[in-house]
């Protein structure tokens, strides 16, 4: 493993046992996160992007379970860790923010209490003695809130989450996630619940903190625009699989997989003014008893009988890979040409 790699996931398979049968939410996903980079994960809901990182955090809820795969964080195989050790890593080494801060913050505890318990659980450089310890925790809580841009943080420690505005709550959640200075932040849809003006501020904040703390960020989103602005690399997921990955600029300029092309074509952009927005036809397949073939087949304009086989990820240029047999055929070049 290269020294630059912080997180490496190999062959992850996470399934949910339901009455309708086994749902394979994540099917053979590989993820690599380098130190200090920002990786974007793009996909529709149900693509497995959130479940992949819930698996990394060890937070897959029953009836879900990880069936296979390796999750190596900084040389440690997380799946082999005891529950106790995994718990100690959460928050301290790998942190997570959730989509909606209003539901992610405990409504019955003050912001100060929620920050304090986080610091008490993870900071091991606190001074001895009850009073000194409490004072240090308080000071650090104020420092963290100030850092994420909460004005008069000291006074607001005693307030409950509902007493803050939506943007402020999002900042508080980020402060909580970053309180223990983790090396990896998993930001799950950090902007979906926010107004457009606040979205940009929150993303700027995450980027600034990434540089400041030297941490890696995984940005889970369905918004390719967000990825284009903030991520070094991008991974596109579809129906539990990675369908394309590579450096952001290249993937956006020259998408290799028809699904990525479809995603890009469905975004309204000033450069394409006058052209129709073309949404992807059809629906994501049910993840129960999927036939062994390309999962995008039903919705793909390029599909034919050759796609009715399991498709592997294959190289698609320098540092790029995609899950499509047409990568080297002229068809895909033709498919690319029209709207990019």
Q: Residues interacting with another protein, by CB under 8 A?
A: 17-19, 57-63, 65-66, 79, 83, 87-92, 95-96, 98-100, 103-109, 117-118, 121-122, 160, 162, 173, 176-177, 180
CA atoms of 192 and 74, how far apart (whole Å): 30
Q: What is the DSSP string of 209-242?
A: HHHHHT-EEEEEES-HHHHHHH-SEEEEEETTEE
Mapping DSSP to helix (H, G, I), strand (E, B) and coil, where does residue 5 land?
A: strand
Question: CB 239 → another protein: shortest distance, Å?
Answer: 22
Give 7's strand partners: 33, 73
Instruction: Please state, as a whole number, how many other Cβ atoms lie within 10 Å of the Cβ of residue 262.
Output: 20
Question: CB 301 → another protein: shortest distance, Å?
Answer: 38
Contact 95, 177 (CB under 8 A): yes
Tokens in use for 128?
């001895």
Helices 111-122, 130-147: axis angle to 10 degrees equals 110
Smaller CB separation from another protein, 107 or 274: 107
CA atoms of 244 and 241, how far apart (whole Å): 9
Question: CB 244 → another protein: shortest distance, Å?
Answer: 28
Question: CB 118 → another protein: shortest distance, Å?
Answer: 5
Question: CB 98 → another protein: shortest distance, Å?
Answer: 6
**332 to 59, 248, 255: CA distances (angstroms):** 39, 19, 9
Smaller CB separation from another protein, 25 or 325: 25
Smaller CB separation from another protein, 40 or 182: 182
Q: For the CA atoms of the chain, what is the radius of gyration?
A: 21
Smaller CB separation from another protein, 74 or 100: 100
């Amino acid at each position: 493993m290269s020294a630059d790699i912080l997180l490496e996931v190999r062959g992850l398979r996470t399934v949910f046992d339901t009455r309708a049968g086994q749902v394979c939410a994540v099917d053979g996903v590989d993820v690599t996160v380098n130190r200090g980079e920002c990786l974007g994960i793009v996909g529709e809901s149900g693509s497995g992007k959130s479940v992949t990182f819930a698996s990394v955090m060890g937070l897959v809820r029953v009836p879900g379970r990880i069936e296979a795969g390796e999750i190596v964080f900084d040389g440690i195989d997380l799946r082999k860790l005891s529950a106790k050790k995994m718990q100690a890593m959460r928050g301290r080494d790998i942190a997570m923010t959730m989509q909606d801060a209003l539901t992610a913050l405990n409504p019955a505890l003050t912001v100060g209490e929620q920050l304090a318990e986080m610091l008490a659980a993870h900071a091991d450089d606190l001074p001895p003695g009850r009073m000194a310890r409490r004072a240090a925790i308080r000071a650090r809580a104020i420092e963290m809130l100030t850092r994420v841009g909460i004005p008069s943080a000291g006074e607001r420690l005693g307030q409950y989450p509902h007493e803050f505005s939506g943007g402020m709550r999002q900042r508080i959640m980020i402060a909580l996630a970053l309180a223990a200075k983790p090396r990896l932040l998993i930001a799950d849809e950090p902007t979906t619940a926010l107004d457009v003006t606040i979205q940009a501020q929150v993303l700027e904040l995450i980027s600034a903190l990434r540089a400041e703390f030297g941490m890696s960020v995984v940005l889970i989103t369905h918004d390719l625009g967000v990825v284009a602005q903030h991520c070094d690399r991008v991974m596109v997921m579809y129906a539990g699989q990675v369908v394309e990955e590579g450096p952001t600029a290249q993937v956006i300029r020259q998408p290799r997989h028809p699904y990525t092309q479809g995603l890009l074509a469905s975004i309204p952009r000033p450069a394409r003014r006058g052209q129709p927005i073309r949404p992807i036809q059809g629906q994501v397949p049910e993840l129960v008893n999927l036939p062994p073939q390309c999962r995008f087949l039903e919705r793909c304009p390029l599909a034919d009988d050759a796609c009715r086989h399991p498709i592997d990820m294959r190289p698609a240029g320098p540092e790029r890979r995609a899950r499509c047999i047409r990568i080297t055929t002229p068809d895909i070049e033709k498919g690319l040409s029209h709207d990019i």
